[in-house]
Amino acid sequence: MKGFEAGLFVFMLAAFLGFELIKRVSPLLHTPLMSLTNAISAIAVVGAILIAGEKDASMLSRILGFTAVTASVINLVSGYLITDRMLKMFKRREGVAK
């Protein structure tokens, strides 16, 4: 049970730290921050696949791993779509006078 408590403690610290860091980010830096968050989510996908695909994994580990893969992939794809849409807002339209 000690490993679970340590993992839960690290998760809570990471959640609070992440919330505080993102809350203080300037709106100008939002797009680069989204790209970085997408990269972190990609790492989470790989970790979740490793957990879910373990040979001797319990059913609970497989279900949680599948849930983590699904949530991370949804986050990854939607984050890239939002970042792409934001970047398109800054492109100049052709035929518009300067």
Which residues 6+ apart lie within 8 Å of 29 measured at CB? Answer: none
For the chain, the C-alpha Rg in angstroms (whole number) is 18
Please tell me the chain's helix, strand, coil percentages from 3-state DSSP, rounded to the nearest 5. Answer: 80, 0, 20
pLDDT tens column, 26-76: 766 666 666 667 777 777 788 888 878 888 888 888 888 889 888 888 888
CA distance 75 to 77: 6
CA distance 38 to 72: 9
Residue 98 has pLDDT above 60, yes or no: no
Predicted pLDDT at 96: 62
